[in-house]
Amino acid sequence: MQFTAQQIATLIQGRLEGNPHAKVSDVAKIEEAVSGSLCFIANPKYEEYLYVTKASIVIVNDSLELMQPVSATLIRVKDAYSGFAFLLEKYNEIISGNEKRGIEQPSYICTTATIGNNVYIGAFAYVGENVIIEDGVKIYPGAYIGNNVVVKENSKIYSGVKIYDECRLGCRVVIHSGSVIGGDGFGFAPLSDGTYKKIPQIGNVIIEDDVEIGVNTTIDRATMGSTIIRKGVKLDNLIQVAHNVEIGENTVIAAQTGISGSAKIGRNCVIGGQVGMVGHIHIADGTKINAQSGISKSVANPNITLNGSPAFEYKSSLKSQAIFRNLPELQQRLLKLEETVQELTALLSIQNLEYKK
């Protein structure tokens, strides 16, 4: 499928520089592009490739100042990254069968379920009792939707997703394959004989509008009440969200992060991969946490960056790391200093003895 520079510029509301009839049929990294490729540059460190690329069309920022002539047709937009992402979204809608409709067989839908208009339910999907599936929802093959679940308009539930009873999904929610929503929280009471008694988990999970959840992520139901994922949250693959956690609006969390029970994360936070959080803490709005950090206490001040385990303020942690790297050298210097002090002490003792004589 081919697109001209003029068509692309119109779609993303960009300003053309070059041949409006230039055509592209695929997308590529700018350093690997060939004739017929569409690329973008948002990071200045890739600008050098702009002057040698064989790409036919490149999306760039309005603010980019050319240092050399370029052979590609340029499309200037306010934010090249966002413009390119929007373009990929439209392209994906075309190639991914986004217009699927209807109910495939074999699948099972309880007679008490309510199914809206323009819904797609794939083969081998299960839809339980009193489920509400609103207009435009897509449930792909092999998904499980438990009793009394609500899935609002234009949400997508990909193959192999399991949504337990009573959970609530907002509009335009996307849940990728293998994720489990509403599994039991990890609640066990220790007994006097050393065994554990399971605490029933009777709550649910609420996922608000425009949330996207990656592959094989698990979000546990609350012990009581709800585990809540607020609107606009983006969760990567392989994340564990425990019972009664609340994640604030527009927070993004990278893969392999684990959030313990009843932790409350604020709005617009950015959390790197493999971060671990203890339970029952509060993370302030706008907090940024570097990958592999361990959060052992609440973060009260908003808009700070944390690093390390246990995590503390980013710049201080970098200074500490620099000192840590220099510890072997500092140890040698300290040993030499001790030797010097011992020698001076011995010399002073000899001088004192001679003085007394």
DSSP string, 48-104: HHHTT---SEEEEETT---SS--SSEEEEES-HHHHHHHHHHHHHHHHTTTT--EE-
Reported for 172-178, long-range contacts at CB under 8 A and 24+ positions apart, including other chains, are 172/209, 172/210, 173/207, 173/209, 173/210, 173/211, 173/212, 173/213, 174/211, 174/212, 174/213, 175/212, 175/213, 176/212, 176/213, 176/214, 176/215, 176/217, 176/237, 177/140, 177/215, 177/216, 178/215, 178/216
Q: Are strands 288-289 and 276-277 parallel, antiparallel or unpaired?
A: unpaired
C-alpha distances out from residue 4 to 12, 17, 31, Å = 13, 13, 21
> In terms of Cα–Cα distance, which of 153, 118, 108, 160 is closest to 132?
153
- β-bridge mates for residue 196, sequence order: 190
Strands 23-24 and 3-4 turn out to be: antiparallel
| Preceding omega of 69 cis (within 30 degrees of 0) | no
Backbone φ, ψ for residue 207 (5° rounding):
-115, 120
Clarify whether 176 is annotated catalytic: no
Q: Which of 21, 243, 280, 282 is catalytic?
A: 243
Residues 243, 221 contacting (CB under 8 angstroms): yes
Catalytic residues: 243
